[in-house]
Chain A
């Protein structure tokens, strides 16, 4: 893993020091962190560190916390207002407002931070720049938390990531005996770290060794099996419910529509959508390309491992972060790693 952090300084801080630091951040900015919401853990604004779901609150052998939804929603909310519309006879007035509050996200998993990097390629690095995304992006600082183990569905190591991958966060934390090791990865992260108050330590940042579990099919293999009957079989059980895209850190398809606020006032919004949906491509008049489940599942997998990286010049073979959420959320047991392993094994 390439080291991109700005200095080699490492701090060792206690849980109390960490909590006090986060409490201070929460006073001046919006602090978002994993929080227990009913039966789920979600990245949500917290008033102080007591509201955060900590790994230490769970039994020792529990898998690492991975919020149900990725941090995608912080930059690219599931519903976002693009502008409002006031209609007064033939007169139309459009008004827009942009997000401009400062946010710090704590407890970000490396796979989720990778997801933001992948979305950057589309929203920031490919013209035209999306103003909503870019405002949120520049106003947000990410504090990462390395995973100490993998969940059964995790496969970040097979798509170029790692449980301690610090490339895409501003500050990286790792749990150790007696507290947390902290290091700044970017200038933006360094800015948040309180100077002399913390104890510097000579310890190396722990880097547990995780090996790639699988060899997943790549672009060439996918193209070769584009017309394979395999897609018919594997997609048979898909419910077209789109949950996989909803929880995905990198699925970014959206729909744009107008909603009424009150009689003469409307808003134009964009909402998450997914190519797994039956009417995703339906045109007025009824023509519905990609009508079959096998075509839609194939498109989603091709998008992750071929189309998206190609369209937005990712320089990577994959727009998948290996977070495993789609595997856990699928009611029909569709497993993206199973599909890619099957394709890899095909002649």
Chain B
């Protein structure tokens, strides 16, 4: 490995498929030493992807390392780098820097009920958590998944819902803001769905990712209406970053840096700081 920590590993794209409108799944295999670095990445970690010539940006890793050597990323086409990544096809080369950041303490969650709340592309870094739980199913109690998007066409990983639903002791609830004619699940914000389910905080951990405003209202509701202790509400946060190594200064949340102190936090750690992130 180079001393230059900004130098990415090269990786080949082995699969590209559409996940949702303007959201693609890129499955990659690392080359030249990168596979060693990524051998044991953990649920919740992230990496920088380079579209060479356009730049690099951070993305949550969207699969669990227990599912094989390939690494998945869900990319929503929003800016220059993501547009460049969308233009790549199978066999093309991209750059990968990581794995970076901390992760969900899955071993600490053993024996607990888990509630996973994903909003839109925010579901991507939660997929490794779901995969991990399904692959170690007897280590955990009940798994509840609340999955939301603005529109049915923006729901991610739809082809995996049957696998999730059919797992023992697992429930999947779906909601969208704006349904289409075929929609036969809930309609409304994820907080409305959460209120309807109204989970008990007993022996339960929640894990949330989505737009900042969703994280804010979900965690507020969990604590104020359902009586969760902030330390049992885990979130994974996103900010603009340019290094992922705690140097570039950009992703601070008060005195914390999302890239190295996070991206995974419990609300006891960041509750008072979250407003600066909205």
Contacts and interface: CB of A to CB of B under 8 A. Distances in A.
B179 interface: no
B56 A256 contact: yes
Contact of B246 (A126, A256, A268): A126
A96 B242 contact: no
Given A87-B52, A255-B242, A285 B78 contact: yes
Interface stretch (A9-17, A153-161, A229-237, A305-313): A305-313
A268 B6 contact: yes
Contacts of A289: 212, 239, 276-278
Contacts of A132: 4
A130 B247 contact: yes
A56 interface: no
A295 B249 contact: no
A96 B1 CA distance: 13
Interface string A94-110: 10101000000000000
B211 A287 contact: yes
B3 interface: yes
A307 B6 contact: no
Interface string A289-329: 11000010001001100110011000000000000000000
B250 interface: yes
B53 A255 contact: no
Interface string B230-263: 0000000011101101111110101101000000
A128 interface: yes
A61 interface: no
A122 B91 CA distance: 39
Nearest to A130: B247
Contacts of A281: 239-240, 250
Given A254-B248, A258-B52, A284-B82, A94 B240 contact: no
Contacts of A122: 246-247
Contacts of A295: 276
A303 B255 CA distance: 8
Contacts of B149: none
A270 B242 contact: yes
Contacts of B4: 82-83, 96, 98, 131-132
Nearest to B53: A266
A126 B245 CA distance: 10
B167 interface: no
A90 interface: yes
Interface string B115-152: 00000000000000000000000000000000000000
11 contacts: A92-B95, A94-B10, A126-B246, A252-B249, A268-B56, A281-B240, A284-B81, A289-B239, A290-B276, A295-B276, A303-B252
Given A96-B2, A254-B247, 19 more contacts: A82-B6, A83-B4, A92-B95, A94-B7, A94-B10, A98-B4, A131-B3, A255-B248, A268-B55, A273-B242, A275-B249, A281-B240, A285-B78, A285-B79, A299-B276, A303-B249, A303-B252, A311-B255, A311-B257
Interface of B: 2-8, 10, 50, 52-57, 76, 78-82, 91-93, 95, 211-212, 238-240, 242-243, 245-250, 252, 254-255, 257, 276-278
- Nearest 4 A/B pairs, CB to CB: A284-B79, A253-B249, A284-B78, A131-B3
